Amino acid sequence: MSKGVIFSGMQPSGRFHLGNYMGALENWIRLQNEYDCVFSIVDLHALTSSYDDTSKLQDNIREMAIDWLSAGLDPEKNIIFVQSHVKEHAELCLLLGMNTPLSWLERVPTYKDKIVNLGSQGKDMHTYGFLGYPVLMAADILLYHANFVPVGEDQAAHLELTREMVRRFHTMYHCNIFPEPQPVYSKAKVLPGIDGRKMSKSYGNTIPFGASPEEVTALINQMVTDKTRIRKTDPGHPDDCVVFKFQQVFNTEEAPTICERCKAGDIGCVACKKALAVKMNALLSGIHAKRQELEKRPDYIKEVLDNGAKRAQVIAAKNMAEIKKVMNVL
């Protein structure tokens, strides 16, 4: 029996990487066996920050769908679709925006941070769409009466804002139609980038999801190791080594032994990288093969997304009619 409805989405903003997989998708694959899941490629959200260049948007959508399916998301178990293909997302965002206080949006923790960070890259983020990002996110969740949303602890504030919007809506229109969505916290494995910083496309330090064995090995060889270690026989400091952080995720059985051998100067960085490459490629080879297969089936990818949009549309239309009725927007 299902534990309830889950909604979650990802922006198609570039090539999917292992950090994305460990941070969210791995958890989704587990949740699909326990909940009724609605997973959306949220292309409208992508426009809030990449509004000035949409040339790669359709390619990014297709690539994300391939990544999701090759990782193990099942289109029979889940509703998988593109956000903009269900017009009710935009419609509900507009209606919710009519009664959401401006001050609520301005206090979102990441709002000012992103304006500064993206502004430093020459991007003007003082737009209506970017400010209203949390309203669109709330619309995504509430449109399907989602009970739960998988989030990291740093995203809890966004979900709390959605719950505030639910309470305000119910009070204002004297109704009780939305569940207050609760967080499902994921114990995500955090992977650093190959240079030791946060794994991010903007840093150019990612390992692409579904990368070939040759590509994975080449990127492992570029990983930053213990900078204080000059010779193989020098005692190492695994906690300061990017390679060892990956060993702890992809080579859990051997990681404690590797740690001790590194500290004793009994294994060098080259051998450690080779051992990691063997383990990572063994674990990821199936995903890479599935991805290659799906890349040759564009009609199937389109069929999955079209069918998902049709299923989502049925739910969205029904719930939207109820929302408009209580607002007297007939």
Q: Of 123, 189, 201, 263, which residue is the catalytic one?
A: 201
Annotated catalytic residue 201: yes
Helix (H) or strand (E) holding 289: helix 269-295
**Spatial distance between the Cα atoms of 126 and 172, rounded to a whole number of angstroms:** 29
DSSP characters over 207-255: -BTT--HHHHHHHHHT----TT--STTSPP-GGG-HHHHHHHHH-TTTH
Q: Is 231 exposed, middle or buried (0-12, 13-18, 19+ CB in 10 A)?
A: exposed
Closest CA to 137 of 6, 42, 203, 227: 42
DSSP for residue 83: G
To the nearest 10°, report the CA torsion of 93, 99, 102, 104. Answer: -90
Q: Of 3, 198, 310, 325, which residue is the catalytic one?
A: 198
Residue type, 148: F
Q: Is 34 exposed, middle or buried (0-12, 13-18, 19+ CB in 10 A)?
A: middle
Whole-number Cα distances in Å, 304 to 66, 93, 298: 10, 25, 10
Question: Order of strands across the sheet with 148-151?
Answer: 79-82, 36-41, 5-10, 148-151, 182-185
Place of tokens 């064995």: 213
- Looking at the DSSP bridge assignments, the partners of residue 9 are 40
- Is 135:89 a contact under the CB 8 Å cutoff? no
- Looking at the DSSP bridge assignments, the partners of residue 80 are 39
Residue type, 195: D
Q: Give the angle 209-215-220 at the CA atoms, nearest 5°.
A: 90
Point out the residues that are catalytic.
114, 198, 201
